[in-house]
Amino acid sequence: MSVRKNISDLIPEEIEAELALLGEKKFRAAQIFSAIHARGAGSFEDIVLLPKALRQKLSDSFEIKNFKESKITSSEKYNTRKFLFELERDPKIRIETVLISEKGRNTVCVSTQAGCNVGCEFCATGKLGFRMNLSAGEICSQVYEVRRQTGVEITNIVYMGMGEPFLNYANVLKSLLMLTNADGLALPGKRITVSTVGFKGKIKKFADDLTSPGNERIGNVKLALSLHSTDNGLRESIIPTSKLNRLPDLYKELTYYYRRTGNKVTYEYIHFPGINDSENDVKRLTALSSMIPSNINIIPFHPIGFQLSKPLDKLNDSFSDTKKLLSNQKLNDLIASLKNNKVVVNLRTSSGVDINAACGQLALAGENL
Closest CA to 159 of 116, 204, 127: 116
Q: At what angle do helices 169-180 and 136-150 cross, to 10 degrees?
A: 50
Strands 294-300 and 265-271: parallel
Cβ neighbours, 10 Å, residue 291: 12
For residues 111 and 143, what is the distance between their CA atoms, to the nearest angstrom? 10
**Active-site residue identified among 116, 120, 140, 359:** 359
SS (H, E, C) 270-339: EECCCCCCCHHHHHHHHHHHCCCCEEEEEEECCCCCCCCCCCHHHHHHHHHCHHHHHCCHHHHHHHHHHH
Instruction: Give 93's contacts (C-beta < 8 A, 6+ positions apart).
Output: 86, 87, 114, 131, 132
Q: Say how far residue 326 (Cα) sits from the centre of its chain.
A: 23
Closest CA to 271 of 333, 320, 225, 196: 333
User: CA end-to-end span of the chain, whole Å?
Assistant: 39
**Active-site residue identified among 96, 145, 164, 253:** 96
Q: Is 55 helix (H, G, I), strand (E, B) or coil?
A: helix
Dihedral sign computed on CA atoms, order 255, 258, 261, 266: positive
Active site residue 96: yes
Any idea what the Cα angle at residue 347 is, between residues 118 and 309, rounded to 5°? 35
Residue 156: which H helix or E strand, with range?
strand 156-159
Cβ neighbours, 10 Å, residue 26: 13
For residues 264 and 257, what is the distance between their CA atoms, to the nearest angstrom? 9
Cβ neighbours, 10 Å, residue 340: 10
Q: Which residues are part of the catalytic machinery? A: 96, 359
